[in-house]
Amino acid sequence: MTQYKLTYFNLRGRAETARYIFAFAGISYEDNRIEFADWPTLKPKIPFRKLPVLEVDGTFIHQSLAIARYIARETGLDGKSSLEKAQVDALADTINDLASLFPWKEQDKEKKKQIIDNIFANVAPDVLKDLEEYLGDRQWFVGESVTWVDFYWEICITTLMSMSPSFAQSNPKLLALKSRVQALPAIAEWIQRRPQTAL
Ligand SMILES: N[C@@H](CCC(=O)N[C@@H](CS)C(=O)NCC(=O)O)C(=O)O
């Protein structure tokens, strides 16, 4: 049986999509959550010196979206056709573009607040509008069944709503998608038992 080891900090962050895919597919893996204090020692040993990384029988994969795509491909959560897979990838990149704007590492609190306020006021509404239109009246972003980009969306919206309670409140279809993902039994079970972290 393939041995999976996912290494990240004790956060949902960029590892959570992989954790959702593992949970949904019922695949066991080592959820290796490291302390920030241990990172400087570990960092030089990690390919490309960033987390998360996934070890697959000892082979490292870096980049969170590549990790998610790989496990999704292995478990049939990446879209049914080549076209659907491209749609899933494009949506994931769109969500990632938004998430990557946030100054997660900024130490200056005032500057951080200004950047975040600007994203919520001036950037996020257009992205939300586009995503809501894309979803339309369908159950899932792509095709007839859930894919990993629905998970990625739920993870992103949950974190952004915790930062700005009004985020996506004018987007009922996107909120309904969030609830639909959270209601999947394996995901609900994971949300219930995962470590509680701020991000
Ligand atoms: N594009 C990369 C970004 C990886 C990244 O920036 N990881 C951060 C944590 S979210 C990290 O390793 N920070 C520690 C450091 O840079 O030393 C991905 O999606 O995996």
Render pLDDT for 139-159 as a digit per residue (tens, 0 to 9).
999 999 999 999 999 999 999
Structural element, H or E, at residue 179: helix 172-183
Is residue 119 situated within a structural domain? yes
pLDDT recorded at residue 33 = 98
pLDDT recorded at residue 152 = 98
**Residue minimizing CA distance to atom 5 of ligand 1:** 50
- Residues marked active site are found at 8, 14, 104
User: How much of the chain exceeds pLDDT 90, in percent?
Assistant: 99
Q: Say whether both 46 and 94 belong to one domain.
A: no
pLDDT recorded at residue 77 = 98
**Residue minimizing CA distance to atom 19 of ligand 1:** 64
pLDDT recorded at residue 175 = 97
Span from the CA of 87 to the centroid of ligand 1 (angstroms): 25
Q: Say whether both 70 and 101 belong to one domain.
A: no
Q: Say whether both 50 and 95 belong to one domain.
A: no
Span from the CA of 66 to the centroid of ligand 1 (angstroms): 13
Kindly report, residue by residue over 73-120, the tens digit of the pLDDT.
999 999 999 999 999 999 999 999 999 999 998 999 999 999 999 999
Q: Say whether both 93 and 108 belong to one domain.
A: yes
Q: Is 14 in the pocket of ligand 1 (CB under 6 A)?
A: yes
pLDDT recorded at residue 34 = 98
CA 193 to chain CA centroid, Å, is 18
pLDDT recorded at residue 88 = 98
pTM value is: 0.97
Cis peptide bond prior to 172, omega within 30° of 0? no
Q: Is 96 in the pocket of ligand 1 (CB under 6 A)?
A: no
Note the residue count of the chain: 199
Q: 46: domain CATH number?
A: 3.40.30.10
pLDDT recorded at residue 154 = 98
Span from the CA of 197 to the centroid of ligand 1 (angstroms): 17
Backbone angles phi and psi of 40, in degrees to 5? -55, -35
Closest among 170, 155, 178, 182 to 120, alpha carbons compared: 170
Closest among 174, 160, 83, 88 to 131, alpha carbons compared: 174
CA angle 119, 124, 130 (to 5 degrees): 155
Residues 6+ apart with CB under 8 A from 1: none
Give the pLDDT mean for 19-43: 98
Q: Is 13 in the pocket of ligand 1 (CB under 6 A)?
A: yes
Is residue 38 situated within a structural domain? yes
Distance CA 141, CA 84 (A): 10
Distance CA 169, CA 171 (A): 5
Kindly report, residue by residue over 127-141, the tens digit of the pLDDT.
999 999 999 999 999
Q: 159: domain CATH number?
A: 1.20.1050.10
Distance CA 93, CA 58 (A): 27
Counting ligand 1 atoms within 8 A of each CB, the residue from 14, 33, 100 with the most, and so the one to mutate, is: 14
pLDDT recorded at residue 172 = 97
Distance CA 25, CA 10 (A): 22
- Domain ranges, residue 55: 4-76+186-193
Q: Is 63 in the pocket of ligand 1 (CB under 6 A)?
A: yes
Q: Say whether both 41 and 129 belong to one domain.
A: no
Q: Say whether both 41 and 99 belong to one domain.
A: no
Distance CA 93, CA 158 (A): 18
Task: Please report how many Cα atoms fall inside a 13 Å half-sphere around the Cα of residue 1, on the Cβ side.
Answer: 6
pLDDT recorded at residue 70 = 98
